[in-house]
Structure 1
Amino acid sequence: MPVEYNDEHAHFECETTIYPRTEGVLRGQLAVRFITGSAVIPCIKMSDGAEKPLSPVEDIDSGKNWWIVKDSWDAKEKYWRHSSVNTAGTLILVLDDVHCHINIGSMDFSRDQLERYLTGFKDDLWELLLDESSSVQASREQGGIGINNATIDCAQNIIMHAHKILSNPKAELREIQTLKPRKAVKPVNRTFMELATKTNQSVLTSRAVKPTFNMAENRYILFALERSYRMIKQIVILSGNKAKRYATLTDKLQHQYDSFTDSVTIDRDLVVKDLEIIRQRCKLSYWQQQLAQSFIAEKIVYDADGPQYNVLHFRSQKPTKENDGFFIEINVQGQWMRDSEKSTVLSFNSKFNASLLNLVRCLRQHAEYKITGAGRRYETEKAVIYVIDYLNDIEIVDARELHLAQQKYSQEIMQGKVLDANNWQRKLSPRELDEQTKEKVALQNRIRFYSENQSLSEAVFKKVEPKQRQLAQLITQFKALGVTASSHFPNSMTFVQNPRYQGVHNGYKQLMASTRLTNEDLLLSLEEIDAIGLVNMPLLYERWCLLQIMKVLIESFRFIPQSNWKYQLVDAIKGRKKDIEILFDNPLSKRSLTLTYEKTLENGKRPDFVIDLQWAAEKDDQARYSRRFVLDAKFYDRSTFARSGGLLGVIDGLRNQKDYREATNNPVFLIHPCKHAIADVVTAQHWGKYSYLGEAGSGAGGIKPNHDYGAIFLSPIDKELYNDELQRLLGLFLQYKLESPNTSSLPNDLTRAKPFCIRCGSVELRTIEKTGGYTNKQGVQSARTPRSVWLQCTECEQFISFNHCQHSETRLIKNGLYWTYHSARAIEPFNIKCPECSEWGGW
């Protein structure tokens, strides 16, 4: 188990998992060993403070000494039973003068479920290796199966030539001794002894010959047949699994399509939560608290000592073009006016306090403030400028957002009463029906796509499955002749002169080439991985997550893995080394990335997965930009999360205590298999029950995560969602979090990075003409912002809209109802909230 040092608590710690429902599985034993040797006996610190010493045992294979817990001896299974490490909680090991805390989690998986998990892991690995190019090249539209007619022909040729070999296999005669009638005897030394000692024997020992088929040529043929069988077997499993998966996806999408009606059911609990958030925003104290938090975030320094302070009572308007202050109106004896009838500017370009320049990001437009400080006033031909050089205090007096919140609160209360009277159901508006229609078009497209892929996968299965059975029969027949397999290719003229032997050898090589498994070491490694049993399932979960990340990057987002990726992947699965890098490229979307397994950060910490993204702007190929995303896999259940401070507590531990965010504020996300880890659902989307994408704060006055941290549900047992949660998260990284979300300085709301479809990964998008307007929340017909952009994928017909928040200028991307990662409003599920300020608006 990997052990890390906890700086905060000054002890080492590691994690393991127990499985109470796995009846019939031989329990493992927790053991420790001193690498450098120690005369001190390690022990377990009990809950009452007592210490229970461990006992030494010798590993019969390596001769090394290990220390284990000896509670009772199981004579039948021949191992020491123990109870302390089969209980969920924290176990403290005292090793010399060092304490190591072992955090023991519990997973409610049965043995059958764990076996299916292990089998699925191996199948996914083979699928990645066999199906490497089908999802990113031309064959993507041919079903995404990593097999073609050449592969089937190879298998058929191998079978045909092997059958011919069996009809007349090469053999050699080996001399043996056997009993024969006296007249047929070919004497050996033993024959003369028998004649001298025994008289009138009817049979005597004789020299004879016996044909044997266990020759180098046949041993190699059996080896080639066994390897071919393994590859064909995996293709059968791959095509069968894909057929089932496509059938499941088709059913799921059809269910989504059939669930659309002209009405919607509103989640009352989420409406109540949203109302509480709006109610807090109706208080002036809330906005004062927001101001104080922004001062801390922007590191504004107050001036305690300075010249004589004055109070300036002003009302902010829009920021200056230089973004170093605001246009304002000042309050003179209760009247709002411009100073000297000129444009009046409040500048934060202080000569004495550089931090005041950040005030422009703290103050809000159309808000009333009283600022206590000192500075200068000077006048130009067109403007009067107030410069704040010293800041002693600032108070928000009023804000337009405060009054808007009060209006919204009244309106939402009325809407809530109407919904309550209608059993929390309402008819969709014309705009919502239009969005639903766009979603149904994309669903119909994908239903056709996956149905066709299902048919292709089933066709491949029907073609290849008989070949698997025929190869199995051939292997059995060769073994019945006493042949044992050998990978050594004999230096024999047989493979030159005999077309049958030559045909099997060439067919095997061609099969490896067609499946892109041309390296013998790689095949040997895959055989070793296939032999993995039910051991260290949390570690296996990490590596299963690695496979899923790669599958989503390749299949959903069309990244192409670069050279030697198979060997890097196998190294990661076998656990040979750390800092394993796999390079991916997607030239069409102008993105490339490095996926590192167990990367060592500069602070010495080692998260499970680090994605370093490089990208170029759509209209500029020269400049390259970078962004880092951190993912960590935890094989936790609900009780383990509860002991660790809940889901957000675990995320905080990774992000802040382990400092995975680093100085550049990396987005940090957790991957876990616990379906009920979300204690506080904050979004109306279906995925909000299982995952949290940092789309909204969890409290009324809480800090907005702005998609900087969160967690997704990804289970190898529960395949209902398959990899949708992971695809949505990686889509969030690749589409949204790679650049600044503020669009105020851009000509429109499109990303600078090349847009792509989050549903299918295509960059072939067409611009859709926007409708003339929409009905806002007050029921007034409003014009759409000219900065928003509507696109539609030409492959899957997914509708994508780019807009911005009218309050914070934050970019908002809507990928339809299912794939949107921003939070949806509870009372209006077709509208989304800004992740920066939780506001919403018309589209």
Structure 2
Amino acid sequence: MYAPDFEIKYIETVWHDEQTLISLVESIHPLKIELGEALNTFKAYTTIYPKVDEMDKCNLAIHFDIEPELPPHILSPNGEQIPLMKVVNPRTKKVWWTEGSVWLKKYKRWGTQAFRTAGTLTVISGDATFKIYIGLSDDSHKELERYLANFKDDLWELILDDNSYVGGKAKKTHSGGVDESTLKIISNLLAHAKVIANKPKAELREIQNLKERKQVKPVPRTFMELSTKGNAKTLTSRGTEPTYNVVENQYIHYVIASTYKLIRQLVQISSSKGSRYQGNIEQLNARLDALKDHRTINKDLVYKDLHVLQNLCDEHKLTDDLYLQLDRSRSNDFAHKIYIYFIKVTGNVKGSEKTYFVEYKYNETDFWSDKNNDHATKFFDISAVPALDLKIGYEYQVNATVVHNKGVSTKGNRYERFVVHYVDSIRVLSSSEQLNRNRQDLTKYHLEVKTLEASNWIRALNRDELIEQQKERDSILSRICFFETESEKAKSVLKSLEPKIKVFKVIEKSFKKMGVKLSSSFPNSMTFVQNQHYQYMHAGYRKLREQIGLADDDLLLSLEEIDSIGLINMPILYERWCLLQITKVLIQNFHFLCDSTWKRRLIDMVQNHNKNSRLTFKHNLMKRKIHLDYEPLMANGRTPDFMLTVGAKNKDNTTIIKKFVIDAKYHSSEFLASEGGISGVVCEMAHKRNYSENNLNSVFIIHPTLDAIKAATSSGVLLSPQKWAETSYLGELKLFEWENPRFIHQYGALSANPSKSIRYLDEFQRLIGMFLQYSIEESYKCQSHDDVNSNNFCMSCGSTDLVDDMPVSYNGKLNSKKKWYTCNNCSHHTTYNHCWNCQTRLIKNGEYWTYHSLMPMQPTNIKCPSCELPV
């Protein structure tokens, strides 16, 4: 991995005057440095916050391991060079270079201009060029604090609420790693702490004080007073007073203070989870209320499909599209004899996407020559023209240079192969069967649109749709029941622990009042053998930490260190917040297991102690293993934020491995637009940085912007009627101009923002579930059945306890290709199907969890992500 010999951080300075620096504080984390395209060029991203006054005192600064010979400077767009100011940390003597444009006498600090302006900042130092991309955020301080609080709560929850079932049987927790035995331990700790606070161990310490003459125990000072004061009523005497600041009490004080912090954190986790569960319940009830015997149809999507269908009926428009494809593959220096062929495409040859089964003829008025006529299979191979895409059911006139050969396969079957080397021209024939079907569909579609316009775009559901809706209702009711149960558990923990927080706080204050210091060192004295209260405080505290998964002292110290941080560089905080969400979904929602050291490694990732780090997750029933790499070094030298390498053992005992690359981008709407929108950002990640490794890996970005998808569509009309499609793009249909239609669900952008939406964890679950369920397999290979080769699981709850629930069709016959599964845990229903036109596998997970686009007029049917036929 490339290790830069410089770092870029935010610094906060305090000045006595414009020449005298009093103090300098560095931010915890530096900006993430990326290599530029050219030699000695580097890139970094940051964000400025005009609405956050607290960040006004922070300046961007660069530190070099080797001091530059000449001062670095900012290169302005008009070519002006603005020198950076040298600042030396008075404590560490570390040298920083920052902008110091003007001395603000009123505030006693140097003001900056370039580092506080959104856009691209260019800094030159010697032969090195630094591009700092500065985004603008309109988030308020309150919204940024919500990010930070959510980040801290999620980290504590992951560490304390250990539902990963590592090392054996799962414990039955209430909330935040708390069960009945944990509550009992905390209650006993409180009871013994009260007794100790009322009667703590004390040691008598010798002192000197004034006493009446008859009670005096003389010390040397006493005799001096007798000689000087004569018959004084009081004299200095030897005395004693109790002291409570003994090692036993210091340790007990530490136990009480630590227990107080842990209980406070457990209460915070339970409160946070309780709020989240209530939000889930409200959301599920809203989904339940939306299930009616009729549906409001999205007219914009209907008109959009109507326009597409009209184009599919126009052979001239289809021919024009073919010429656009042809122009991208045409070779100007090809000069061979051109032949005229008429072909009818009847199918795709599996394993060769540019070879088709065809019928052919040499004149338009001839009859088609197919396999039934001469018992030979005809292949039409256009691999030499990669941009050209022929469609099943269409007839074409192709003027091309073709090598025509005949032969017999190893199985004794006759074949004819037409290998195309050059295409001069191509057109769609008006006699195409699919063209005629499209025209019939258009007539039918027009009638349906008129009916909807007359009914104000409200359509009654048919029988099949009502059956599907009932399944959705059953699943929602099951999840409501689950979240209500979990919510009650969280309330139970709050009810039990909240009152104890105040009592522990009072006891801790009493120890402070007695002058008892804190010490985490166990004194191992006889007091802990003879006094049952001291004895239990030690044993109970150890049991409590074991119970909640914090037996390791380093874990607790690291969590407390992280808990004390304030607002840091938001792109870095957002990146690590995304890391926690991915981890939460895998452990809590899909029930993956981790090894015994995962907590330590997760905290190291969060603290940035260990780049190129890995967490390994296993699911024995799902038969999947996942390596989650944070800032991994790819073979091409690039370092994305996250890479999930999924290994899945199939039902036939074969194994498939697929990689999913995720990059977190804390970009505002304005900054996204300046980068070409999400299309430009995803293209940059997938192809220019080649995170896709030549289209082998899926590549998605995660960002907080809610209006990015609408901005990415040319017409402003979304791709799908589902709610999630308003803010996220999962590759359900083609959105980006550069996308190849065959790479379905491979590139996209997920919007996740805790300050704007409570559904963000569902967005992560849908994305990761799509990876695990759909994207690890070849979606074009639907053969004798539509079921996946990998082991099935429920998208809604992550369970693998599924029942094969294939129904009998209404005419009494079984559908022999479709597959249906119902989850025994949450009643969620999953259907495995295929596209009738191109055979692409389709998986329906109910309206909410389905990551394919749904038909706007048919809410129970999927629009194929490959051929995108509107009907």
Maintained 8 Å contact 1:660/1:668 = yes
2:14 corresponds in structure 1 to none
Maintained 8 Å contact 1:264/1:428 = yes
The C-alpha deviation readout for 1:564-621, integer Å capped at 9, x for no partner, is 0000110011111201100101111111101111111111111111100011112x33
Residue 770 (structure 2) aligned to one of 725, 732, 740? 732
2:447 corresponds in structure 1 to 414
Matches within 5 A, 1:36-115: 36-73=66-103, 79-115=109-145
Residue 767 (structure 1) aligned to one of 782, 804, 809? 804
RMSD after superposition: 3.2
CA distance in 1: counterparts of 2:301 and 2:351, whole angstroms = 41
1:777 corresponds in structure 2 to none
Q: Which sits farther off after the overlay, 442-451 or 507-516?
A: 442-451
Q: What is the aligned-residue identity percentage?
A: 36
Tell me by how many angstroms 1:557 deviates.
0.9
1:438 corresponds in structure 2 to 471
Which amino acid in the other structure matches residue 147 of structure 1?
A: V
**Aligned-partner SS, 1:830:** strand
Residue 847 (structure 2) aligned to one of 796, 806, 817? 817
Is 1:121 matched up with 2:151?
yes
1:130 corresponds in structure 2 to 160
Tell me by how many angstroms 1:210 deviates.
2.5
Residue 61 (structure 2) aligned to one of 9, 24, 31? 31
Which amino acid in the other structure matches residue 725 of structure 1?
A: E
Matches within 5 A, 1:592-671: 592-618=625-651, 620-621=652-653, 623-663=654-694, 665-671=696-702
2:818 corresponds in structure 1 to 788
CA distance in 2: counterparts of 1:514 and 1:96, whole angstroms = 57
Maintained 8 Å contact 2:341/2:360 = no
CA distance in 2: counterparts of 1:428 and 1:532, whole angstroms = 54
Q: 1:296 to 1:733 in 2, by over 3 A?
A: farther
1:4 corresponds in structure 2 to 34
Maintained 8 Å contact 1:320/1:327 = no
The C-alpha deviation readout for 1:492-529, integer Å capped at 9, x for no partner, is 22222222111100000000111111000111101100
Is 1:555 matched up with 2:596?
no
CA distance in 1: counterparts of 2:523 and 2:737, whole angstroms = 76
The C-alpha deviation readout for 1:750-802, integer Å capped at 9, x for no partner, is 0000111100011111222335259xxxxxxx988531111111111111111
CA distance in 2: counterparts of 1:140 and 1:684, whole angstroms = 41
1:533 corresponds in structure 2 to 566
Q: 1:254 to 1:57 in 2, by over 3 A?
A: same
Residue 458 (structure 1) aligned to one of 470, 473, 491? 491
Matches within 5 A, 1:263-662: 263-284=294-315, 287-288=318-319, 304=334, 310-318=339-347, 326-332=357-363, 334-338=365-369, 341-347=373-379, 364-365=392-393, 367-370=395-398, 372-376=400-404, 378=406, 385-388=415-418, 391-393=421-423, 395-398=426-429, 399-618=432-651, 620-621=652-653, 623-662=654-693
1:236 corresponds in structure 2 to 267
Which amino acid in the other structure matches residue 226 of structure 1?
A: A
**Aligned-partner SS, 2:859:** coil
CA distance in 2: counterparts of 1:715 and 1:221, whole angstroms = 42
Which amino acid in the other structure matches residue 689 of structure 1?
A: E
The C-alpha deviation readout for 1:450-504, integer Å capped at 9, x for no partner, is 1122112211221222222222222111111111111111132222222211110
CA distance in 1: counterparts of 2:290 and 2:584, whole angstroms = 29
Which amino acid in the other structure matches residue 589 of structure 1?
A: M
Q: 1:79 to 1:208 in 2, by over 3 A?
A: farther
Residue 169 (structure 1) aligned to one of 200, 211, 215? 200
Normalised to the residue count of structure 1, the TM-score between the two structures is 0.91
Q: 1:320 to 1:426 in 2, by over 3 A?
A: closer
Which amino acid in the other structure matches residue 791 of structure 2?
A: K
CA distance in 2: counterparts of 1:141 and 1:205, whole angstroms = 65
**Aligned-partner SS, 1:595:** strand
Matches within 5 A, 1:696-711: 696-698=733-735, 703-704=740-741, 706-711=744-749
CA distance in 2: counterparts of 1:733 and 1:79, whole angstroms = 51
Q: Which sits farther off after the overlay, 684-693 or 417-426?
A: 417-426
Maintained 8 Å contact 1:803/1:811 = yes
Maintained 8 Å contact 1:135/1:554 = no
Which amino acid in the other structure matches residue 392 of structure 2?
A: R
Tell me by how many angstroms 1:283 deviates.
3.6
Maintained 8 Å contact 1:88/1:106 = yes
Gaps of 5+ in 1: 775-781
Which amino acid in the other structure matches residue 790 of structure 2?
A: A
Maintained 8 Å contact 2:318/2:428 = no
The C-alpha deviation readout for 1:102-130, integer Å capped at 9, x for no partner, is 11112222222222221221111111111
Which amino acid in the other structure matches residue 608 of structure 2?
A: G
Tell me by how many angstroms 1:311 deviates.
3.3
Tell me by how many angstroms 1:374 deviates.
4.6
CA distance in 1: counterparts of 2:57 and 2:112, whole angstroms = 9
CA distance in 2: counterparts of 1:475 and 1:144, whole angstroms = 25
Normalised to the residue count of structure 2, the TM-score between the two structures is 0.88
**Aligned-partner SS, 1:30:** strand
Q: 1:486 to 1:411 in 2, by over 3 A?
A: same
**Aligned-partner SS, 2:856:** coil
CA distance in 1: counterparts of 2:391 and 2:301, whole angstroms = 30
1:215 corresponds in structure 2 to 246
CA distance in 1: counterparts of 2:863 and 2:356, whole angstroms = 28
The C-alpha deviation readout for 1:80-102, integer Å capped at 9, x for no partner, is 33233222222222223322121
CA distance in 1: counterparts of 2:505 and 2:695, whole angstroms = 56
Tell me by how many angstroms 1:838 deviates.
0.6
CA distance in 1: counterparts of 2:736 and 2:178, whole angstroms = 52
Maintained 8 Å contact 1:319/1:360 = no
**Aligned-partner SS, 2:47:** strand
CA distance in 2: counterparts of 1:341 and 1:22, whole angstroms = 78
Tell me by how many angstroms 1:538 deviates.
1.7
Maintained 8 Å contact 1:134/1:144 = no
Residue 690 (structure 1) aligned to one of 715, 727, 750? 727
CA distance in 1: counterparts of 2:775 and 2:221, whole angstroms = 88
Maintained 8 Å contact 1:743/1:804 = no
Gaps of 5+ in 2: 1-30
Is 1:248 matched up with 2:279?
yes
Maintained 8 Å contact 1:277/1:701 = no
Q: 1:71 to 1:209 in 2, by over 3 A?
A: farther
Tell me by how many angstroms 1:260 deviates.
1.8
**Aligned-partner SS, 2:524:** coil
Tell me by how many angstroms 1:418 deviates.
2.9
Maintained 8 Å contact 1:174/1:209 = yes
Tell me by how many angstroms 1:634 deviates.
1.0
Maintained 8 Å contact 1:146/1:515 = yes
CA distance in 1: counterparts of 2:406 and 2:589, whole angstroms = 59
Q: Which sits farther off after the overlay, 113-122 or 754-763?
A: 113-122
Q: 1:142 to 1:498 in 2, by over 3 A?
A: closer
Aligned residues: 825
Q: Which sits farther off after the overlay, 557-566 or 165-174?
A: 165-174
